[in-house]
Structure 1
Amino acid sequence: MPRACPAPRRAVLYVPGVTNGAPTHQRPRTRVRAWRPGVAGIAEVFHAHFTDHAYPAHTHDTWDLMILDDGRVDFAVDRRRHGAAGTGAVVLLPPGVPHDGRTVNAEGFRKRVLYLDTRVLPERLTGAAVDLPVHADPLLHRRLGQLHGALDALGDPFEAESRLAFVRERLLSHLGAPAPVGGTPGRAAAPLAAALRELLDARIRDGLTLDEAAAVLHAHPTHLIRSFRRAYGLPPHTYLTGRRVERARRLLLAGARPAEVAPAVGFHDQAHLSRHFRRHLGVPPGRYAAAPARDRPPPPLGAPGSPR
């Protein structure tokens, strides 16, 4: 059986707006959503829209990595005040250091936060983070947005781990820490990519974590991903998803039901299979298997029944 990917536990809280102590009966002014993903290094994911909230001074035992989606926020770290505004700001707050936060205007702010443990960033980088908590880095902001997207999609831990590796690499550069060296000295990228592809092909159903792949192949995770993309034109998590969809097609055409196919090819559940199947082929798996042969997309080149 494939390794189970536990569904994140999510909590959503709505707080009605208040004006002069009376409910406004309008759309809720505060929205909070939180869950714990099944990805090593990420203790919690937290999304919020605040319009009239002020955090008291407090600390975390994790790193607080925030992207601001819109609005403005004012906060203090170690008794020094800072501000962030706009759609591109990234804020990194270290563990154990007191900080607060508050809205600046009536529009408030929307944020997405990752709470990262010290496997991602070591505590020794706390001083550098206190000195520079706000980063105007469009690439880091984009990578964090992609990571949040992967964490929002149930059953994609391999993609989330891959995206977290690049976020970590970027944060280390901001904090003045040298990123780990690529991989085993003298090992060329092309053979490394081929070895990773063989490993993924052997683990289509069961899957594997990025750390497992890196340990087996003796390479740093980001070097492994870059080597694979350079060799095959796509990241390894995208390749693995495509192989699972390809295998699902064959099972569906052989008469298996989508609910049976999903775990057999490594998807979390039928909904996870359907989402990727529709993205690849334009129809859900049930309709694909029921369609007349003339209406189905042709099989991939090299697959059984495809033109040579």
Structure 2
Amino acid sequence: MVKAAGGDTRVHAWRPAAAGITEVLHARFTDHAYPVHTHDTWDLMLLDDGVVDFALDRRRHDATDAGRVVLLPPGVPHDGRTVGPLGFRKRVIYLSTAVLPERLAGPAVDGPILGDALLHHRVHELYVALRHDGDALEAESRLAFVRERLLVHLDAHRVREPGREGDRLAARLRELLDARLDEGLTLQEATALLHAHPTHLIRSFSRAYGLPPHTYLTGRRIDRARRLLLAGVRPVDVAAAVGFYDQAHLNRHFTRHLGVSPARYARGGRRR
């Protein structure tokens, strides 16, 4: 987190491991004006509070609704400035043109402010997933659904619900996940191996088993971690053995699932 002089300005930025995302930015500005500039990425912004006024391709917009999503296309000049003494707070995910092709910039210029509650929720979930190392499958899955929703807005995609073939596809994906609990599986690998569209694959799995692939994978890893902990394996060694990024990654998911840390779970087993 960087706090700049002059007003209450706070900026936190990082580059996640997820393919297709070049940067994530969380910022608060009370008195700031961006000069006119362009990016070679798509800027996907959630306005959390306040008001930001911006111009895109020399047309001014006023993003006053914190429930809206702003999408700025690559290569198109834009600026941005605070409005009023309270400023604004925003989260921005920068998407490469591998996620959205640059040829779709026209519709985005015509309508950069999207009043879509489902899209807003999906972008928020993606942002949360990107805050943690080791959740690559979840981040890729959430990005796939964000991309799908954006393509609908840009008139370049229609959603197809899974048919009967989806059950066979889901079973094959579960076999892959079970076989690769330790090393994990990226969404890109899964779609290449199964010759399936990302969101169609995730929808098929969720419909067949009642939860998305990344949640299934985490649950299976937690089950294996429990057995190892009760067998006396140290939590730090368990994390690597079952495919978690590090011990903190194991602790976060284990505690969310069971309400106690791996160390406390193991101590309870030893006392008994």
TM-score (norm. length: structure 1): 0.85
Paired residue secondary structure (1:291): helix
2:134 match: 155
1:258-307 CA-partner distances (Å, limit 9, x unpaired): 11110111101001101111111111111111114787xxxxxxxxxxxx
Q: Give the distance between the partners of 1:292 and 1:168, measured in 2 at CA.
A: 45
Seq. identity, %: 70
Paired residue secondary structure (1:177): coil
1:280 match: 257
The reply on whether 1:165 has 2:144 as its aligned counterpart is yes
Which one-letter code corresponds to 2:255 in the other structure? R
Paired residue secondary structure (1:81): strand
1:62-87 CA-partner distances (Å, limit 9, x unpaired): 11110111111100011010111132
Deviation at 1:154, TM superposition (A): 2.0
1:289 match: 266
TM-score (norm. length: structure 2): 0.96
Q: Give the distance between the partners of 2:127 and 2:158, measured in 1 at CA.
A: 22
Higher helix residue share: 2
* CA RMSD, 1 decimal: 1.6
Q: Give the distance between the partners of 2:24 and 2:269, measured in 1 at CA.
A: 44
Q: Give the distance between the partners of 2:80 and 2:6, measured in 1 at CA.
A: 19
Instruction: Please list, as runs of the form range in 1=range in 2, the aligned pairs for 1:21-170 lying within 5 A after superposition.
Output: 29-170=8-149
1:152-193 CA-partner distances (Å, limit 9, x unpaired): 12210110000000000000010111248678xx86111111
- Give the counterpart of 1:246 among 219, 223, 235: 223
The reply on whether 1:15 has 2:19 as its aligned counterpart is no
Which one-letter code corresponds to 2:3 in the other structure? Y
Q: Which runs of 5+ in 2 are unaligned?
A: none
Q: Give the distance between the partners of 1:161 and 1:178, measured in 2 at CA.
A: 19
Q: Give the distance between the partners of 2:187 and 2:230, measured in 1 at CA.
A: 32
Task: Indicate the structure (1 or 2) with the bigger Cα radius of gyration.
Answer: 1
Instruction: Please list, as runs of the form range in 1=range in 2, the aligned pairs for 1:221-240 lying within 5 A after superposition.
Output: 221-240=198-217
Which one-letter code corresponds to 2:14 in the other structure? W
Q: Which runs of 5+ in 1 are unaligned?
A: 1-11, 19-28, 296-308
Paired residue secondary structure (2:181): coil
2:243 match: 266
Deviation at 1:213, TM superposition (A): 0.4
CA contact (8 A) 2:17 2:133 kept: no
